[in-house]
Amino acid sequence: MSNSLKVWKYYSQKSVQNVLLEIAKNREIVGVYDNGNFDKRPNVLNYPNDIIEMVKKGVVSFHGSVERWSSPMRLESGMPIKEMSDLRIGWDLILDPDCPDFELSKITVKTICEGLEDHGLKSYSIKYTGGKGFHIGVPFESFPGKIDDKKIENLYPEAAKAIIEYLKSYIKKTLRERFLELDNPLKLVERVDKTIQECIDEEGINPLKLVEVDSMVASSRHMFRLPYSLHEKSLLVSFPLSLKELDGFQKKDAEPFRVKVENNFLLEEPVLAEATGLITEALDWSEKYSTQQEKVEYKGPRRKLKRVPKKYFPPCIHQLLQGLSDGRKRAVFVLITFLKNMGWSWEEIEKELEQWNQKNKRPLSKRYIGTQLRWHKRQPRNLLPPNCDRDNYYKSVLGNVKDDCCEGLKNPVNYVFRKLKNKQNKKNLVDN
């Protein structure tokens, strides 16, 4: 049977057509030819005959957008960001670990999925790409409707990139351990056709140099191969499977006429807002580890504050220091950065955090607080606490606790400068 006949016969199956049409809803679609070239964009799939007509033209593989659109056919190259945002009605999270070694790919997928589960997320799905590796998908419905009063559909691609980078950091240690259980460093680099120099860092072998998990998969109008599409080169099916099936999966299991349309990818009924914890942690992490530091509103000469007493602290900090039931980890970041900017010594900050932690409904582990303190001590720059408009740090945890002095302020640190406008207070609290 010729390849073209095999492709036509495969896509003529009603079960394949139905699943492609279902996943294609509200997505931009593009066909891919056997030479890797793309068909026209934008395109959509609305009817079974749309699939067959594209196959007749020579299309072998069907790719769909990570983003969901109200009117995909209105998309244009070079379209203004505002117009694209108006069309975007959602986005799915796609993780695409890229590695030439099939076993390392499997280990990576398993570790990422365990990371998702650690954050309370079970509504993820896995599929073989038809090529070297796998995709992991988290449906849009798993995310909360808003973060900090911003609609989640408008947080693309920033939120998706933050989640991917956060998960990479979260799994790195475990992934290294699992790779080293499989093989020694020299054998591992041979598996991916790299040198040992390319794959080591100060901690030893870097698993994320062996397997690349690129956050650029979360970019404007990015496409991924649709589930049950053929791969344009291998002619294997991009086949959904469960985590339990992953270890035993072989590429031959994805041959076109061996697969059955049973498992779904991004189509299972998700638990609504199940990924709230994941996206919140990721955005917090992203802000914390960002290389950009926001400027303080205070325009006076840069001077080092002596230890500022608590009586000058803003209401939000006073409230945080009373102890919390939710948002404790976020509060650690706020308190460390705020107190450091208030001229407190590391010993004073550590003691204050110990006392604060005992007031929490469920105290954090001493190990967690110690880790956060060590990280902050290593930073070459003086980080600011999150700005006042970051509701997931303040309003969602504390409610509205502002006073008259808060009006118009950008950052909690600014509150202190406003309080210190009295020259005598400045003289007592500022080193010249």
Q: Judge whether residue 303 has pLDDT over 80.
A: no
Q: Is residue 289 part of a domain?
A: no
Q: Is residue 353 part of a domain?
A: yes
Q: Judge whether residue 321 has pLDDT over 90.
A: yes
DSSP 8-state class, residue 141: G
Helix axes 366-378, 346-359, angle to 10 degrees: 150
Whether the link from the prior residue into 185 is cis, omega within 30° of 0, is: no
Indicate if 203 and 324 belong to the same structural domain.
no
H or E stretch at 340: helix 328-341
CATH code of the domain containing 91: 3.90.920.10
Indicate if 65 and 178 belong to the same structural domain.
yes
Indicate if 200 and 243 belong to the same structural domain.
yes
| Beta strand extents in 102-250 (DSSP E only) | 125-128, 134-138, 146-147, 150-151, 200-201, 204-205, 212-213, 223-225, 240-241
Helix axes 328-341, 346-359, angle to 10 degrees: 150
Q: Judge whether residue 308 has pLDDT over 70.
A: yes
Rg (C-alpha) for the chain, rounded Å, is: 26
pLDDT of residue 425: 53
Q: Which amino acid is at 397?
A: V
pLDDT of residue 403: 84
Of 26-30, 87-91, 265-269, the poorest mean pLDDT is in 265-269
Q: Judge whether residue 298 has pLDDT over 50.
A: no
Decide which of 228, 244, 277 is a domain's last residue.
277
Q: Is residue 102 part of a domain?
A: yes
Question: What tens digit of pLDDT does each residue of 106-137 get?
Answer: 999 999 999 999 999 999 999 999 999 999 99
Of 175-179, 359-363, 411-415, 419-423, the poorest mean pLDDT is in 419-423
Quote the CA–CA distance of 171 and 282 in Å, as a whole number.
13
Indicate if 308 and 269 belong to the same structural domain.
no
Coil, helix or strand for 245? helix
Quote the CA–CA distance of 107 and 178 in Å, as a whole number.
7
Task: Provide the pLDDT confidence category of residue 328 given band limits of 50, 70 and 90.
Answer: confident
Q: Which distant-in-sequence residues (6+ apart) come within 8 Å of 342 by Cβ? A: 305, 307, 308, 313, 413, 416
| Beta strand extents in 96-185 (DSSP E only) | 97-98, 125-128, 134-138, 146-147, 150-151
pLDDT of residue 202: 77
Containing domain of residue 223, as a range? Answer: 3-277
Indicate if 270 and 339 belong to the same structural domain.
no
Q: Is residue 146 part of a domain?
A: yes
Coil, helix or strand for 46? coil
Indicate if 250 and 331 belong to the same structural domain.
no
Q: Is residue 45 part of a domain?
A: yes
Q: Is residue 288 part of a domain?
A: no
pLDDT of residue 428: 55
Question: What tens digit of pLDDT does each residue of 31-51 get?
Answer: 999 999 999 999 999 999 999
pLDDT of residue 301: 41
Q: Judge whether residue 371 has pLDDT over 50.
A: yes
Question: What tens digit of pLDDT does each residue of 372-390 get?
Answer: 898 888 777 778 888 888 7
Structure tokens at 415: 């509150």
Indicate if 243 and 109 belong to the same structural domain.
yes
Q: Judge whether residue 208 has pLDDT over 80.
A: yes
Indicate if 341 and 258 belong to the same structural domain.
no
Q: Name the pairing type of β-strands 204-205 and 200-201.
A: antiparallel
Question: What tens digit of pLDDT does each residue of 79-114 get?
Answer: 888 999 999 999 999 999 999 999 999 999 999 999
Q: Which distant-in-sequence residues (6+ apart) come within 8 Å of 322 by Cβ? A: 359
Quote the CA–CA distance of 173 and 175 in Å, as a whole number.
5
Query: Chain-wide mean pLDDT for the chain?
Result: 89
When divided into structural domains, the chain yields a total of 2
Quote the CA–CA distance of 112 and 379 in Å, as a whole number.
28
Closest C-alpha among 126, 132, 71 to residue 98: 132
Instruction: Say if residues 282 and 166 touch (Cβ distance below 8 Å).
Output: yes
* Mean pLDDT, residues 335-364: 93
Q: Which of the two residues, 190 and 417, has the higher pLDDT score?
A: 190
Closest C-alpha among 223, 193, 228 to residue 209: 193
Q: Is residue 110 part of a domain?
A: yes
* Mean pLDDT, residues 331-347: 92
Indicate if 251 and 367 belong to the same structural domain.
no
Question: What tens digit of pLDDT does each residue of 52-75 get?
Answer: 999 999 999 999 999 999 999 999
Q: Is residue 59 part of a domain?
A: yes
Of 37-51, 223-237, 315-329, the poorest mean pLDDT is in 315-329
Quote the CA–CA distance of 231 and 43 in Å, as a whole number.
19
pTM for the model stands at: 0.69
Indicate if 120 and 253 belong to the same structural domain.
yes
Q: Judge whether residue 293 has pLDDT over 60.
A: no
Indicate if 306 and 272 belong to the same structural domain.
no
- For every residue of 162-176, DSSP letters joined together read HHHHHHHHHHHHHHH
Indicate if 260 and 344 belong to the same structural domain.
no
- Name beta bridge partners: 135: 127
